[in-house]
Amino acid sequence: MELRQLYYFVKVAKKEHVTQAAEELRVAQSAVSRQIHQLEEELGVSLFIQKGRNLQLTPAGQLFLKRIEVVLGDLEKAVLEINEFMNPEVGEIRLGFPHSLGIQLIPQVVSGFRKQYPHVRFKFKQGMYPSLIRDLVKGEIDLAFISPFPENDELVVGEVLLTEELYAVLPSKHPLAGRESIVLSELKDDEFVLFREGYSLRPIVWEACKKAGFTPSIGFEGEETETIRGLVAAGMGVSLLPEMALHQAGPLQTAKVRIESPIVTRTIGLIRRSNQKLPLVAKVFYKYLLDHFSK
């Protein structure tokens, strides 16, 4: 069975006329008739019956058309995807990132990249650390921003883009809200608002508190940066958040205070699968990000 036969079959089925199909295909009528006849012989069924001057699909022909249209549609999509894969100025980049980077960093780098490559599309997927690793390894995303950077994972490779300091986030009326800096142990008697289990910022905050000599008392938990900030602003506790998560203003305001001891940081990295080449458009974006953060 040849691909040409399938294209001829679909065209005749749509036109219900060999001559009209041949004219649109720009081939001889006899060539179309011959290919249809060979296809019917190979399948062992009649695909068309004559009805006046036109051809009409048999029940077998109707079934075959339904399946073949799906096959040819998938083939066209595959060809398009390959062309996009090889073209750095078009195509789609599937990018994963944690919620805390969605406020400032992701919009900033994507808008900057699209000024150079306006026809590139992005498909975003937010998630926690384990799900980002899983989605990348399974091939559901091409690249992922991740924090902390995975040092010993054979399935992914990448680069550390930056190290970011975490600040104490306090209710505006907190006794320490007016200070320029504090030591973390000064918050040992406060209740903390933390991310739920599975979010990468939670163990960073937890370990920082342990290093400061206390175990944080958890009053509330959340799943998004804005939820954490909102709960703190409403006086439900204190928290530690990275600076880039504190730029977006809202109706409830928090105080941002630097922690002088211990210094609390997180690494933010960019990772890709270690055993597979990136699509060309994603490779260009990868290089753009490395250049962007090196500056």
Give the domain CATH number at 118: 3.40.190.10
- Cα–Cα distance measured from residue 142 to residue 264, given in angstroms and rounded to the nearest whole number: 30
Structure confidence at residue 232 (pLDDT): 95
Compute, in degrees rounded to 10, the torsion defined by CA atoms 96, 101, 102, 108: -100
Q: Which amino acid would we find at residue 84?
A: E
- Cα–Cα distance measured from residue 109 to residue 90, given in angstroms and rounded to the nearest whole number: 17
Structure confidence at residue 79 (pLDDT): 80
- One domain for residues 273 and 153: yes
Structure confidence at residue 73 (pLDDT): 86
Beta strands per DSSP E along 98-212:
121-126, 143-146, 156-171, 181-183, 191-195
Q: Tens digits of per-residue pLDDT, 68-112? A: 999 998 888 788 777 766 677 778 899 999 988 888 899 999 999
Structure confidence at residue 2 (pLDDT): 86
Which residue(s) pair with 121 in the sheet?
92
Quote the number of domains for the chain. Answer: 3
Q: Tens digits of per-residue pLDDT, 111-152? A: 999 999 998 999 999 999 999 999 999 989 999 999 989 888
- One domain for residues 275 and 154: yes
Structure confidence at residue 90 (pLDDT): 76
CB 52 within 8 A of CB 83: no
- One domain for residues 119 and 79: no
Structure confidence at residue 224 (pLDDT): 86
Q: Does residue 261 carry a pLDDT above 90?
A: yes
Conformational region of residue 63, where left means phi above 0, alpha means psi within -120 to 50, and beta covers everything else: alpha
Q: Does residue 153 carry a pLDDT above 90?
A: no
Structure confidence at residue 204 (pLDDT): 94
Q: Tens digits of per-residue pLDDT, 186-218? A: 999 999 999 999 888 999 999 999 999 999 999
Give how far Cα 264 sits from Cα of 101, 160, 167, 210, 230, Å. 17, 17, 8, 12, 22
SS3 content of the chain, % helix, strand, coil (to 5): 45, 25, 30
Comparing CA positions, the residue from 16, 23, 97, 107 lying closest to residue 55 is 16
Top-confidence residue, 61 or 250:
61
Q: Does residue 182 carry a pLDDT above 60?
A: yes
- One domain for residues 250 and 272: no
| Domain extent for 282 | 92-161+268-294
- Cα–Cα distance measured from residue 203 to residue 184, given in angstroms and rounded to the nearest whole number: 15
Structure confidence at residue 84 (pLDDT): 66
- One domain for residues 262 and 177: yes
- One domain for residues 201 and 252: yes
Pairing of strands 265-273, 254-261: unpaired
